[in-house]
Amino acid sequence: MNNIKIFFIGLAAGMLVMAGAAFGYNALRNQIVWDGQKDPDAKIQEVFALLDAYSINEYDRNELLENMYRGLLDGVGDPYTYYFDEEAYALFMIQTEGVYAGVGMLVTTDTDDRIVTIATVYPQTPAERAGLAPGDKILAVNGIDVTAHKLEEVTSMTKGKPGTKVTLTLYRPSEDYKFDVDIMREMVSIPTVSHTMLEENIGLIRIEQFDRVTLEQFITAYSDLTERGMRGLLIDVRNNPGGLLDTVTQIANLLLPRGVITYTEDKHGERKFYYSDGNHATLPLVFLMNENSASASEVLCGAARDLAGCTLVGAKSFGKGIVQNLYNLSDGSAVKITVAKYYTPNGICIQGEGLIPDYAVEVDREKALRAGTLPYGDDAQLQKAVEIMREKMNH
C-alpha cells in the first residue's frame, strides 16, 4: 500500500465505463457511408416540410429531433446504448465527480420488474429527511411516468439546480403503499465508501459505487483500519451498480497480487488488459456481493477470486459483463454505446450470467435492498462473511 499513485480517470457512474477517445459528430460525418440508402438528413427535411405545410398541431422542431435521437438509439435494442441531451449529459458528468445537486439517494434497476428502485438513502440528505427508504420504487418524476425509463434517465430527472423542487411518486412494496413526496434539491456529496471495525479486528469497507472520489475515500478507510490493527478485511459491494473502470482497477491493484485484473475485447477482437503491479495488501480478504452488484463490482469480485483465490459471499451477482463509452457530440449532447465485453482473469465473461458466490446466503428482497444498512444481527450475509474471515485468520 506504499507509494500509492492516484489517477482520477473515467467518464460515468452507474455502469462500467472505459476511457476512450470521444469523436464529435462533424469529425465522423465524412466517414459515414449509407450503403446506397438515402441520406437521412434529406428525409428529415422532407418530413418537416410536410409538417409545416399540413399539420394542424403545434410542435417544437428541437423537441422532435431530441426524441428522434432517443428513438434511434433505443432501436439498437441494447438497454445500455442511448442518447443524452445536453442538459442530461452535463448532469451525468457532474455526478461522476461525487458531488451534485439532487436528493441524496442511490438507485438500482429491479431485476424482476425493471423499475428503478432506491437502494440506499444517504444520511443527512433531502431524501432521508423526506422519509424515503431502500426498496421504494420510483413510479413518476414530476408527474412523468418513469416505470419504463432507463436508470440514468431517472437519475438525471431527479437532479437539478439547488433550491428547486422535484416531486417523486413512489411505491413501497413492504406496505403496499403508493405516495407522492416533494423534495427540495440541494448540493449532495456522495459518501461512496464507509468503514467500520468489527470484533476480532475484522475490518469492513463498504463501497456504494465507483466514482472519481471513491479511490481516495477507499485509501482513507483502509489506512484508518490499518492503524487500528486490522487483521482481516471484508469488502462489501452489495447493491453497488458499478461505475468507472479505471477506479475499480486501481482499487483492485491495491488489494490483489500481480496479474491481470480484467481485460476487455471490442468488436474487432482487440483486447485491452488491466494489470495489478503486485504492491498489494497481504491481509485475508472476503467479498460480499448480491443480485444488485453489477458491472465494476463484478470486475472487482471476479478478479479477487480468479487472481487471489478470495472468497465471495452472498447471492449471484447481476451479470453485466459489457463496457460502455461516452462520445460527446458537437452540440453538447452525447451518446453512450456498448463497445466491448469484459472478462475475468480466467477468461470468463459474466454477461447475462453473473458470478456465483462460494457461499450462497439467500435473503428476502427487502433485506437485500437494505444490505449494508441492516443491523449486524439481521444481516445473515455479513455474519457468514465474518465466520469465514475468522477461519481464515485462525489458519
Q: For residue range 332-360, what is the model confidence (pLDDT) as tens digits?
A: 999 999 999 999 999 999 999 999 999 99
* Residue 147 and residue 235 in one domain: no
Domains of the chain: total: 2
* Residue 239 and residue 302 in one domain: yes
Task: Provide the pLDDT for residue 357.
Answer: 98
Asked if residue 107 belongs to a domain, the reply is yes
Asked if residue 1 belongs to a domain, the reply is no
Asked if residue 342 belongs to a domain, the reply is yes
CB-side exposure of 14: number of CA atoms within 13 Å?
A: 24
CA distance 114 to 108: 9
Asked if residue 351 belongs to a domain, the reply is yes
Asked if residue 73 belongs to a domain, the reply is no
Task: Provide the pLDDT for residue 25.
Answer: 47
**Which residues form the domain of 142?**
100-189
Task: Provide the pLDDT for residue 297.
Answer: 97
Average pLDDT value for the chain:
88
The β-bridge partners of 166 are 183
Q: Is 35 a residue whose pLDDT tops 80?
A: no
Which residue's entry shows cell 449494508? 372
CA distance 111 to 275: 31
Asked if residue 39 belongs to a domain, the reply is no
Q: What number of residues does the chain have?
A: 395
CA distance 312 to 31: 47
* Residue 211 and residue 360 in one domain: yes
CATH of residue 144:
2.30.42.10
Task: Provide the pLDDT for residue 218.
Answer: 97
Which residue's entry shows cell 446504448? 81
Asked if residue 62 belongs to a domain, the reply is no
pLDDT digits (tens, 9 = 90+) for 287-335: 999 999 999 999 999 999 999 999 999 999 999 999 999 899 989 999 9
Mean pLDDT of 91-103: 71
In the chain, what is the straight-line distance between the N-terminal and C-terminal CA atoms, in Å?
24
* Residue 161 and residue 213 in one domain: no
pLDDT confidence band for 39 (50 / 70 / 90): confident
* Residue 182 and residue 198 in one domain: no
* Residue 179 and residue 210 in one domain: no
Task: Provide the pLDDT for residue 278.
Answer: 84
SS3 295: coil
Closest residue by Cα to residue 283 from 344, 198, 222: 222
- Residue 388 neighbours by CB under 8 Å, 6+ apart: 286, 311, 313, 359
Domain end call among 139, 162, 189: 189
* Residue 145 and residue 278 in one domain: no
* Residue 288 and residue 359 in one domain: yes
pLDDT digits (tens, 9 = 90+) for 359-378: 999 999 889 988 988 999 99
pLDDT digits (tens, 9 = 90+) for 180-219: 999 999 988 778 999 999 999 999 999 999 988 899 999 9
Mean pLDDT of 65-83: 92
* Residue 302 and residue 208 in one domain: yes
- All three cell numbers of 272, joined, read 485491452
* pTM of the shown model: 0.77
Mean pLDDT of 261-267: 96
* Residue 203 and residue 252 in one domain: yes
* Residue 385 and residue 288 in one domain: yes
Q: For CA atoms 244, 250, 251, 255, give the dihedral sign.
A: positive
DSSP helix, strand, coil percent of the chain (3-state; round to 5): 30, 30, 40
* Residue 169 and residue 206 in one domain: no
Task: Provide the pLDDT for residue 311.
Answer: 98
Query: DSSP secondary structure string, 188-224?
Result: EE---EEEEEEGGGEEEEEE--B-TTHHHHHHHHHHH
Q: For CA atoms 203, 244, 134, 385, give the dihedral sign.
A: negative
DSSP code, position 83: E
Domain end call among 157, 189, 221: 189
DSSP code, position 283: S
Which residue's entry shows cell 474471515? 389
- Residue 238 neighbours by CB under 8 Å, 6+ apart: 288, 289, 290, 292, 293, 314, 368, 371, 372, 381
Q: Using H for helix, E for strand and C for coil, what is the string for 313-364? A: EECCCCCCCEEEEEEECCCCCEEEEEEEEEECCCCCCCCCCCCCCCEECCCC
pLDDT confidence band for 12 (50 / 70 / 90): very low
Asked if residue 104 belongs to a domain, the reply is yes
Task: Provide the pLDDT for residue 95.
Answer: 64
Question: What are the residue numbers of the active site?
Answer: 295, 306, 320
Task: Provide the pLDDT for residue 119.
Answer: 84
Q: Is 238 a residue whose pLDDT tops 60?
A: yes
Closest residue by Cα to residue 157 from 95, 111, 71, 64: 95
- Residue 204 neighbours by CB under 8 Å, 6+ apart: 195, 196, 197, 198, 233, 234, 236, 382
Domain end call among 146, 169, 189: 189
